[in-house]
Structure 1
């Protein structure tokens, strides 16, 4: 846990709202150097291991396409399968931000933390009645990121749905 401005943070993160806009805040301490985590969040061959199939032009204003690979227990695509965006903030190897047409703004910040890295992730958008599902989804993806850094890659056709279900139950109960 970390205290940030009076808010105690855990892996479960926090939500703040202004009007219809929600800002989801998560942080993770990862036992890997910033450069390694940067590759995991910015290179397509690593992004597919924990997030989605991604086409990305790594430069300010570069285009981003995310194709979500998760399916339900019947093999049907879950959620909105495709998002398009643009890189709106790019400071390698510390800041990567996408503005997307479906998922709002997605921002990763990396900072050296001893022998590892502090990752701060924000998702900003109008999530309406999907908020608890979005929270559970980003929490699970950040867990998958930590797993992929340890060599455990998500098998998307058989991804661990029960992890998401447990997380969703937690967020619904809050």
Structure 2
């Protein structure tokens, strides 16, 4: 499967039952995009806070506060906390190209960057999704978080996380393997 095939759609693609691949073309340069992946203050503007030591084997904590990425906390679906945390472990680092980590209970995530002129192709690959419900949840989550990242990098106002996630959850429910 080529990058252009995936890039033609804003949706992540389940390339096998337990693996989601999602791509976004982002405004560069690649160094700036890398900082949004690795710097806690920048990463919390689109995904989750938490300092990282960019060394394989290093543990780090991701702290999600999706209410801060939303128009209002009242949009948060029932059953989701205002804050969630996960202790993850860096598995691979190739500066400006690739960052991979293990997320216990949720699988393995890789961010790959590829310069394309003044833009950067971000490929998010989430492997070893443990079950379909998780596939749907993270599919909608990665989609919305990457849309927010694209807006931040473009200097535009991002959409509200929770309202977008709720809409996308229904769409990923149809897309996820049965």
**Partner residue, 1:81:** 84
What is the deviation of 1:60? 2.1
In the alignment, which of 78, 100, 106 is matched to residue 97 of structure 1? 100
TM-score after normalising by structure 1: 0.83
Q: Which runs of 5+ in 1 are unaligned?
A: none
Q: Distance in 1 between matches of 2:48 and 2:79?
A: 12
* CA pair 16-43 structure 1, distance change in 2 beyond 3 A: same
Residue 112 of structure 1 and its aligned partner are, at CA, apart by 0.7
Deviation at 1:16, TM superposition (A): 2.8
- Gapped regions of structure 2 (runs ≥ 5): 68-72
Task: Supply the distance in 2 between the matched residues of 1:128 and 1:172 (Cα, whole angstroms).
Answer: 9
Would you say the 8 A contact 1:12–1:26 is kept in 2? yes
Measure, in 2, the Cα distance between the counterparts of 1:77 and 1:38.
Answer: 33
Q: Of Structure 1 and Structure 2, which has the larger fraction of its residues in strand? A: 1
1 or 2, which has the higher helix percentage?
2
Name the TM-score, length of structure 2 as normaliser: 0.81
| Alpha carbons of structure 1 residues 149 and 111: separation in structure 2 relative to 1, 3 Å | same
CA deviation profile, 1:45-78 (whole Å, cap 9, x unmatched): 1111000121211222222100111246277772
Which residue of the partner structure matches residue 171 of structure 1?
A: 172
Alignment of 1:130-149 (within 5 A): 130-149=134-153
Aligned-pair RMSD on alpha carbons?
Answer: 2.6
